[in-house]
A and B are shown apart, each in its own frame.
Chain A
Amino acid sequence: MRKISVTGPKSQLETVIDNLHDLGVMHLENYEGELETGEPFEKGEKLSELLVDVRSLLSKLPEPETETKETISIQELQEQLPVLSEKIDDITEKLEAINSREKSLREELKYFRKLEGLDLDYEDLHGSKNLEVWIGRIDEKQLSNELETSRFEIIQGKRNQVVIYEKGNEEIKDGLRQLSKQNIEVRNTERSGQPQQIIQEIKNEIGNLKGEKTDLKKRLKEISEREYGKLEHIEDYLTTEIEKVEAPLKFATTKRAFIAEGWIPKDRFDDVENRLTNVTNNKIHIQEEEGENPPVKQQNNKIVEPFESLTNLMSVPRYGEIDPSFLIFLTFPLMFGFMIGDAGYGFTSALVFYAGMKMFPEGAAIFKSLLWCSAATIFFGLLYGDVFGFIIFGPDNALTALTGIAFFESIPVIYHRVDYLGQVFVMAAIIGVAHVNFALLIGAYNEYIKHGVMAAILEKGSWMVLQLAAVSWYFYGAELGGALVALSLIMIYKGEGIEGLVEIPSLISNILSYLRLFGVSVAAISLAQTVNAIASPAFASGTLLGIVAGTLILILGHTFNTFIKIMEGFLQGIRLHYVEMFNWFYEGGGTKYNPFGKSKQY
């Protein structure tokens, strides 16, 4: 990367911006200094307004089935926009009105359903001069028993009853109040006739509304088929135009001149210089500048590329620093697989990640990298002979018991980790030592590039000597061990000062932290076996109900486990990289190379 500045008269500003945008290689840097920053071009405001209008229309239209490649110019758009938006607004407003009308009708329908089956006109429910009407649910027998008088009549409906009695009869009123299970108020409505008829009436009205709705939606769809592609195209166009219009905000300007600063890849310098001087007839001046912290463009092959997003989740690498994406690719899926280690969960987690990739396009890269974790999980699962906590290979395996195929018995289980938890524990520690030292080596390389051999040995090599010292103390006694410890302490002090000495416990805690690989392994096995243990009595019962219940428990349990394990495997695996590994070499804090005009499509 090279930092350059482009200086020229303001008359050339627009030409320069257009051409820089077209080239799409310059990462513009915000100007910070004594001069004023530029102002966006005047047409910006109009374009922004237009963009807002276009986006609002796009949000109202359904996505079309066929894609049109038709394009439209801004002028045409400005002419057509008022008519088009009026048309669309008209339809959407009508749709809204219909929706709210439908909602109130449904509410009304719900009310009249309560009165279904009553052989009465609705108007009568309001009562009359001499009669009072009570609607609700009540036990008829109980009411008759409770009341001494029989001066009332009960009319049965499908869900509720109506009790008609003499106005002012307190005894009946009290009885109803005490025995009522549900009381329904009479509403004021314009509808009349028997509840049955009213219900039918409302249903018809809803049916009509639905017809209108489909008509309107169809019209909207037609508009969308015609206009959506054009609008989308112009949205993209406007977005890039506005990007250009606002570019001067990053420039320094005086009354008559401007200065733009930014970074371009080394090999494109001549390109940029030639083009800009040509189009401006040599009226501008391009000059190389000195700058710090250039933007970073990560370069990885197709396989490692998705892992960049995992690196950037933590921090974008600095310029010239080793991009740890490759290291994450190398060890993260393996750790994930080592911990979860179950072919069944490998498969289900792959399904989850694949679904995630399709559902969240913006996070697709992360899910793509996680698919590698699923692959590693399947690999380790086959190595351990585990599928959903069942052993599938070797003598007495679950797969042969289920299918009756003896072939599976002939495949040996290579390493059934449940039987060797002690070894898994040691392995976790060894992985920790290896991973941390690997990180130290990379750190040493980074130091070597930046500050030379001595810095590399003192700052990173010293930590390896310290580990060596601990080992030799254990095997060869205090004399050699002590000497090496002293040497390493001096080296650390020389390399990193007193801070380094304070950091020493963190080396131990970092390595111990890898024991979580063991911890999560145990948890992963136990969780799977717990689900199977809960389900097994149901299967053992041998009844159809038992088998159904057992299957349900297995499906629910293992689905739940899949998500728990994804979370555990991801969080624990990635933190071992972020915290324990990056600690020893990674600085981060870079800026992503985001050249001006990169997003252009037209």
Chain B
Amino acid sequence: MPEPAQAIGAAIAIGITALATAWAQAKIGSASVGALAEDDSIFGKVLILTVIPETIIIFGLVVALVAVGFI
């Protein structure tokens, strides 16, 4: 079991990065839907732009795992 401080640290790492990802994806996502309404052949490109922020939470996951001593 990790120490309480470790657990809190991990929670902060995951929580804030999740919010950051959500915020970024929400903005990109709504713009993407607008763009798709104009021209739906750009679906692939729009998909990529939308998923780019997901990397943020992966970093959060890594930091959280470091914090609890998994890595």
Contact = CB atoms under 8 A, between A and B. Distances in A.
B4 interface: no
Contacts of A516: 54, 58
Contacts of A433: none
Interface in A106-162: none
> How large, as a class, is the contact surface on chain B?
10 to 19
B70 A425 contact: yes
Interface in B24-47: 43-45, 47
B43 A425 contact: no
B51 interface: yes
A519 interface: yes
Contacts of A574: 47
Contacts of A359: none
B49 to A, nearest CB: 9
Interface string A403-445: 0000000000000000000100100000000000000000000
Contacts of B45: 314-315
B5 interface: no
Contacts of B62: 512, 515
B44 A578 contact: yes
B48 A313 contact: no
A515 B52 CA distance: 14
Interface in B10-34: none
B61 to A, nearest CB: 6
A579 interface: yes
A571 interface: yes
B51 A575 contact: yes
Contacts of B70: 422, 425
A509 interface: yes
Nearest to A576: B51
Given A425-B65, A571-B51, A513 B71 contact: no
A512 B43 contact: no
State the 6 A-B residue pairs at the shortest beta-carbon distance, nearest first.
A314-B44, A313-B44, A575-B51, A578-B48, A513-B55, A515-B58
Interface of B: 43-45, 47-48, 51-52, 54-55, 58-59, 61-62, 65, 70-71
Interface of A: 312-315, 422, 425, 509, 512-513, 515-516, 519, 571-572, 574-575, 578-579
